[in-house]
Structure 1
Amino acid sequence: MAKRYNVGSFYLILVCFGLGLYSLYSNLNHTWMIAQPNYILLVFSLLAFVFGIIGFKDKRNWRTKIRSWFTIILSLLMAIVLSLAVLLTLFASSLGANEYIKTVQSPDGKYTIDFYRYDAGALGSHGIRGELNGPLWFKKRIYYRDREEQVEVEWKNNSTISINNHTLNLKKGETYGY
Structure 2
Amino acid sequence: MFLKQKNMTSEDEKKSRYKGIIKGFSIVGLLVIAFLGYGVYWAFYDMNRLPTGVYLTEVKSPDGKYTLKAYVTNGGATTSYSLRGELVFNKEENKSKNIYWNYRENSANITWRDNDIVVINGHTLEVPSGKYDFRHQ
Q: TM-score, with normalisation over the residues of structure 1?
A: 0.44
| Corresponding residue to 2:86 among 104, 107, 131 | 131
Q: CA RMSD in A?
A: 2.9
Distance in 2 (alpha carbons) for counterparts of 1:149 and 1:103: 14
More strand by share: 2
Deviation at 1:150, TM superposition (A): 1.2
Counterpart mapping for 1:1-178 below 5 A: 28-30=45-47, 98-122=53-77, 124-134=79-89, 135=92, 138-171=95-128, 173-177=129-133, 178=135
- Moved segments of 4+, more than 2 Å: 27-31, 122-125, 134-137
More helix by share: 1
- What percent identity do the matched residue pairs reach? 33
- SS of the residue corresponding to residue 149 of structure 1 reads coil
- In structure 2, give the amino acid aligned to 1:174: G
Count of matched residue positions in the alignment of Structure 1 and Structure 2? 91
- In structure 2, give the amino acid aligned to 1:143: Y
**Cα offsets for 1:146-172 (capped at 9, x unmatched):** 00121101111000011111100104x
- In structure 2, give the amino acid aligned to 1:113: L
Deviation at 1:122, TM superposition (A): 2.6
Deviation at 1:28, TM superposition (A): 4.4
- In structure 1, give the amino acid aligned to 2:46: N
Bigger radius of gyration:
2
- SS of the residue corresponding to residue 109 of structure 1 reads coil
Structure 1 residue ranges without an equivalent (≥5):
1-23, 34-91
Q: TM-score, with normalisation over the residues of structure 2?
A: 0.56
- In structure 1, give the amino acid aligned to 2:97: K
